[in-house]
Structure 1
Amino acid sequence: MASVARVLIDSPLPQLDRLFDYAIPPALAEQAVPGVRVTVPLKSERRVADGLIVEVGDDSAFAGALAPLEGVVSAARVLAPEVWALARRVADRQAGSASDVLRLAIPPRSVAVEKKWLERGAPSELPQAVHPIDGYGAGVVEGAIEGAERIALRSLPGVARLPDGRWAGRWAVTLAQAAAATLARGRSAILAVPDYRDLEQLEAALAAVAPPAAIASLDAKRTNAQRYAAFLSCLGDEPRIIVGNRSAVYAPARRLGLIALYDDGDPLFAEPLAPYAHARDVALIRQEQQGGALLFAGHTRSVEVQRLVELRFLRDVAPDPVVTPKVVLTAAQGAGGEGGRMPSTAFRAAGEALTRGPVLVQVARPGYVSLLACRRCGQAARCTVCQGPLRIPAAGRAPACAWCGALAGHWACSACGHDGFRMVTRGSGRTAEELGRAFPGARVVVSDGERPLTRLDGAPRTLVVATRGAEPLADGGYAAVVLLDGDRMLQREGLHVGDDCLRWWSNAAALAAPGAPTVLVGVGGALAQSLALWQQPGWAAAQLADRRALGFPPAVRIASVTGKPEVVARALEALDGVPIRDVLGPAPVEPEGPRARDDGLVRAVVRFDYAAGQEVATALRGAIVRQATGGRRPPAGDRRRRPAPTLRVRFDDPDIL
């Protein structure tokens, strides 16, 4: 019987990111198996730490006497072998710790749920049904799943009525049918979507094609007990359809047949916690390790996926026959409503469509008036307390700071001294007020971050004002879609502005009923043409070509190195001899927000080719460990407490460009 347990300690300290050997006491011999939670003594910290057994064996490379395990927390083997292999690979790629990855992969323990799961009997066999995947030619997507192919799927626009009377986007129906086809082959499927709105549609579509007991939802909005119960249900050998947000790509699934991501360009797929691995990259790694099919679906295509298509790593799959929404381009000014903000073309289209069904109006900002400027000179109005932007939070309210909330009662322009405001950007509240006056008799509904709405009946004379990404699904689809504030959206700084706008507009246009017009206001050029012709991959290809010429991601990879100047300098020295392209900076990190402070941090950006990624990660990981274990002096009077390390490394940092 094995006598040594190799344990990964749950700790944020980078120097503890390895397996530690512990002796297995005879009393714990039957319980100490790979995958279980344990407690172990941590002598360097003089405390008991939590950990997970990764392996067991008969010997150890450590020459001294091994400390024994303190105890086994539970008999549940929560760390599946495939999840450990994935966590280790992701951590090494991102210069991070495997324990940080496993915190994302394994939900917090619920004792009551776990006890019930351990007492369960053998799972019953579930009935399976095969549902053809519509819209892509007979057997095209099914063949890709059976052949474990990697594909970039162009999602069908529009909405579909489900057997129970509910409606869902056609993209959700496609993913549900693909998951059911995978389940019918005795394999598991992992479906990841950006947020709860998408998940609601996907779960509704799955209910029509798969038995409820086969679906495990790891949605972040569920309670911890619900998430843990769903997680435990994935640990067996029986196939499951696993749905959730970005962390669902880490779910245990031994016989994995499909990983599918919808709308991978959504920033919600970028993990904000260390080691900051994007769900798309995790899916690529997992498919390489476990096999099965890989599917990236969306109404638009991210530049990262386009790169893989051009490398022939992914196969492009388009609908057959082609489905193209009706998109109308129009100038920003006209004789329509809202004081000329809505051109006459859009105004007429909305007015005519209201007699047939609901109309969607997409705007850039929530609130009432999200940005004010000086009435005389046009300079942006700033708070006199913290220099934050001034806004009007609601109708009849006084202007106030968006950062600190201070009222602008005695404000005067710092440039010309004038004390009058003018509205620069109308929010959803102000837009709804103006449209209510322009279309008397219409019911005006607002959907934004403060008033989220996921579904809407298809009644006529309903006008929906929604911020980008918060558009509710209307039964039967919208009779017309009007996309306002396109010029404002494009004024945001960043490399991905055009990609984001095209994604917002395409997803809104996909909610329209068949033949219903989508009017894009005030935007022209190649971006608008890509939407009008429904050729989003062409835009992604053009963007990728530009980024190759400039040496920008995803043509190359980047890593940001942030910390005190001397710490960043030492980290960059670790890259001597590593084949990188160049280093940009270091440059000071500007504090942001009302509570931000200037800590004297700097940031350098390292650019390198994909082939050098592992060498760069290894070198920077070494710098992180050295800085964490180096001679940082403790504060006076407290020898045990040392200042926190300031070095932070983030690969593929979305905040850089």
Structure 2
Amino acid sequence: MSGRPVARVLLDSPLPQLDRLLDYAIPPSLADQVEPGIRIRVPLRTAGRIIDAFVIEIGEAVDPDRPLSEIDAVVSAARIVPPHLYELARRTADRAAGSAADILRLAIPRRLVRVEKTWLARESAPEPVVAPEAQDWARRALAGFPGLAEAVGEGSRLAIDAPPRAERAFSGASTAAWAALFAAAAALTLAEGRSAVLVVPDHRDLEQLARALAGLLPADAVVSDHSDRPAGERYRDFLRTVEERPVVVLGNRSAIYAPVHRLGLIALWDDGDPLLSEPLAPYVHARDAALVRQGLEQVALVFAGHTRTTDVQRLVEIGWVREVAAHRRPTPRIVLSATQGDAAPARISSGAFAAARTALESSPVLVQVARPGYSPVLVCASCRRAARCRHCAGPLQAESRGSVPSCRWCGRSAPVWSCGHCEGTALRLASSGSSRTADELGRAFPGVRVILSDGTHAVAEVADEPALVVATRGAEPVAANGYGAVLLLDGERMLMADSLRIGEDCLRWWSNAAALAAPGAPVHLVGVAGAVARALATWTQAVYARAELADRAPLHLPPTARVAAIEGEAGAVERALDELRAAVELAEDAVVGPVEAMLGPRRGEEGVRALVLFDYASGPRVTASLRASVVQTAVRGRRSARGARPRNTLRVRVDVIDPAL
């Protein structure tokens, strides 16, 4: 370089005003060590301290006479932020009005020096080779979807309705059909010398994928990226993804940012699951990050599920995503059961009860319920009003039969309680959770083993023997050869939840449970009628998503429009809205609020909240304006702090899934 060399770095800082590339002079002593992608330490003059940063690029100083701070030290020679990872972080953050450093913090696990030194000292390894018999199996596995293998090879954007059944993996083990499809697509992608990223919601889905990939690919060609793993293993596998060798990555939502070499496929399972929505700033859903990455790297993108979200359906209808249908469309045997007039135990119709009794002669039976616990809701025995805690007004619950009621919010027990409406002192169990359901079914089917699976009692798999499996939604274990019957209870209670997407969610919960049934086994949906029940009975989830999308379009509800939530002090929110109106022409009814709200993780932080509805075309201008407001508010708050710890008084969340929550 003819001019003075500088490193353009991104500081590892949550401060929004530092979310840009800063120039730092490279001292002569570090000239041979500073490279793009490495981690360094630099001085932060405004704070008088040294912080971590990532070198994004090496260039020349724009103004040779301008004084620049020098890099303090090189932390590691590992190039963990390749150019395509920074570009993905920058584009994703800009779309969500957030910081690129926050995205990198999600993508890069905690550094472990010992693991990193071992990785830096490794010997070069050849690219993984997929055996011919594995490729043949993969082609046969994809043959059920005509044109799917070719579409993946061409880098298309695809939507697949996964078959609701189990398949035989390459190893001969039983696994979910969707997992076999993902494994097959990943194998063919790796055979072409390209990487694949497979993203699923939770550990149960990861186990299905791992079973499908077992023996199919070389051991060093598959890595896992999920937060439940030991820190050392996770960082080691992350370092494997930055190598210039293709690899297959399977993990949860953060795996979407895996900096793999020559990416060829992104596959996302069950994008309606809330676990794929990132709870940390800038709150980017894995589906949106996948769309951004596909646009940057021009790779194949596959959305698969037993149901179709309205988000994916919108992409299908505008032609951005292509639907690939199966050659044969298997459907479960759905039975809509009514409970009126039945003499069977509460909540279960006579037909469902008889189906369970018959199936229990030789196989397990799955019973899906709405809530965990014993009795999540207690009411006054006299007036039937909900029982409330006298300390925080939270709902009271019973954790077991005869136990002292306790508050679901504050956890305080209520040994002595009186109704605030009628002054009654007796309580009544108004609902049945998973524990109470297991207790009742255990008495109804004496001698049958009862297995409970919920957030507290997690069960991943059950044997192929008679047993009653009571599980909350999303916690259903996998049966070795499928369930002999599936009973879906509390459907009406689930549909009563105050959520824009509750119909979608219920259909997804029920469809995923129905997919666990053995071929031909009955699936009883008890006490539910209407559009959602019909969609399940006819197995036409895409049709339901299309109807939902059509209903939301006139009201400009997501996903037909994008929604941003702006929260903070009243003055900061008003200024942000004024600046947004000046930058973007919004519809008259585009802004809802501001209204008073309780903000922050600690209840009691007062402020206001406003919602902004905007179309996709104006998205870049809206997010740029909102981000500028966040930066300006942060700078203003720092100047007014006068030695006190500055507080960010404005928070923005873009692409709110459900504005009602």
Identify whether the pair has TM-score above 0.5, normalized to the shorter chain. yes
Shift of 1:390: 0.5
Name the SS for the 2:439 alignment partner: helix
Work out which of the residue numbers 522, 525, 535 in structure 1 matches 2:527: 522
For 1:321, the aligned partner's letter is R
Work out which of the residue numbers 172, 179, 184 in structure 1 matches 2:191: 184
Work out which of the residue numbers 592, 603, 613 in structure 2 matches 1:584: 592
Deviations 1:227-250 (A, max 9, x none): 111110011221100110001110
Work out which of the residue numbers 27, 31, 41 in structure 1 matches 2:29: 27
Shift of 1:137: 3.4
Asked whether 1:216 is paired with 2:220, we answer no
Asked whether 1:204 is paired with 2:211, we answer yes
Larger displacement relative to structure 2 (53-62 or 103-112): 53-62
* Equivalent position of 1:540 in the other structure: 545
* Equivalent position of 1:556 in the other structure: 561
Deviations 1:364-409 (A, max 9, x none): 0111111111122221111111111111112331111112222222
For 2:238, the aligned partner's letter is F
Cα distance, 1:63–1:556 mapped onto 2, change above 3 Å: farther
Shift of 1:318: 2.0
Name the SS for the 1:611 alignment partner: coil
Shift of 1:155: 0.5
Deviations 1:259-303 (A, max 9, x none): 010000111111111111111010001001001100000000110
For 2:467, the aligned partner's letter is T
Shift of 1:634: 5.2
Distance 1:181 1:228 in 2: 27
Asked whether 1:653 is paired with 2:661, we answer no
Asked whether 1:315 is paired with 2:322, we answer yes
Asked whether 1:241 is paired with 2:248, we answer yes
Work out which of the residue numbers 436, 439, 458 in structure 2 matches 1:433: 439
* Equivalent position of 2:103 in the other structure: 101
Distance 2:369 2:600 in 1: 25
1:336 and 1:347 in contact (8 A); partners too: no
Cα distance, 1:45–1:133 mapped onto 2, change above 3 Å: farther
Cα distance, 1:390–1:627 mapped onto 2, change above 3 Å: same
Cα distance, 1:592–1:258 mapped onto 2, change above 3 Å: closer
Work out which of the residue numbers 644, 647, 655 in structure 2 matches 1:644: 647
1:334 and 1:342 in contact (8 A); partners too: no
Distance 1:158 1:63 in 2: 68
Name the SS for the 1:576 alignment partner: helix
Name the SS for the 1:575 alignment partner: helix
* Equivalent position of 1:111 in the other structure: 113
* Paired-residue identity, %: 51
For 2:270, the aligned partner's letter is D
Shift of 1:141: 1.5
Work out which of the residue numbers 501, 506, 529 in structure 1 matches 2:506: 501
2:490 and 2:526 in contact (8 A); partners too: yes
Cα distance, 1:218–1:151 mapped onto 2, change above 3 Å: same
Name the SS for the 1:248 alignment partner: helix
> What RMSD, in angstroms, separates the aligned Cα atoms of the two structures?
1.6
Name the SS for the 2:189 alignment partner: helix
Cα distance, 1:262–1:138 mapped onto 2, change above 3 Å: closer
Shift of 1:625: 0.9
Name the SS for the 1:476 alignment partner: coil
Work out which of the residue numbers 394, 397, 400 in structure 1 matches 2:403: 397
TM-score, scaled to structure 2: 0.96
1:132 and 1:139 in contact (8 A); partners too: no
Asked whether 1:455 is paired with 2:461, we answer yes
Q: Which runs of 4+ in 1 moved over 6 A?
A: none
Distance 2:375 2:564 in 1: 37
For 2:368, the aligned partner's letter is Q
Asked whether 1:260 is paired with 2:262, we answer no
1:101-140 equivalences in 2 (<5 Å): 101-129=103-131, 130=135, 131-134=138-141, 137=144, 140=147
TM-score, scaled to structure 1: 0.96
Deviations 1:95-143 (A, max 9, x none): 1111111100111111111111101111134331312253653652211
* Equivalent position of 1:50 in the other structure: 52
Distance 2:637 2:521 in 1: 67
For 1:265, the aligned partner's letter is G
Work out which of the residue numbers 282, 294, 300 in structure 1 matches 2:289: 282
Distance 1:163 1:44 in 2: 58
Shift of 1:423: 1.7
Work out which of the residue numbers 300, 311, 335 in structure 1 matches 2:307: 300
Distance 1:133 1:252 in 2: 30
Point out where structure 1 has 5 or more consecutive residues left out of the alignment. none
1:350-361 equivalences in 2 (<5 Å): 350-361=356-367
For 1:550, the aligned partner's letter is L
1:336 and 1:342 in contact (8 A); partners too: no
* Equivalent position of 2:388 in the other structure: 382
Work out which of the residue numbers 369, 376, 379 in structure 2 matches 1:370: 376
Count the aligned residue pairs.
650
Cα distance, 1:440–1:151 mapped onto 2, change above 3 Å: same
Point out where structure 2 has 5 or more consecutive residues left out of the alignment. none
2:171 and 2:216 in contact (8 A); partners too: no
Asked whether 1:573 is paired with 2:575, we answer no
1:456 and 1:475 in contact (8 A); partners too: yes
Distance 1:373 1:133 in 2: 57
Shift of 1:655: 4.8
For 1:11, the aligned partner's letter is S
1:447 and 1:464 in contact (8 A); partners too: yes
Name the SS for the 2:606 alignment partner: coil
Larger displacement relative to structure 2 (301-310 or 323-332): 323-332
For 1:179, the aligned partner's letter is A
Shift of 1:421: 1.8
For 1:262, the aligned partner's letter is W
Shift of 1:214: 0.4
Deviations 1:555-592 (A, max 9, x none): 01111110111111111111123122310000111479
For 1:587, the aligned partner's letter is V
For 2:628, the aligned partner's letter is G
Name the SS for the 2:451 alignment partner: strand
1:136 and 1:318 in contact (8 A); partners too: no
Shift of 1:81: 1.1
Distance 1:451 1:312 in 2: 43
2:127 and 2:246 in contact (8 A); partners too: no
Shift of 1:62: 6.9
Cα distance, 1:429–1:73 mapped onto 2, change above 3 Å: same
Name the SS for the 2:618 alignment partner: helix
Name the SS for the 1:360 alignment partner: strand
1:130-169 equivalences in 2 (<5 Å): 130=135, 131-134=138-141, 137=144, 140-162=147-169, 164=171, 166-169=173-176
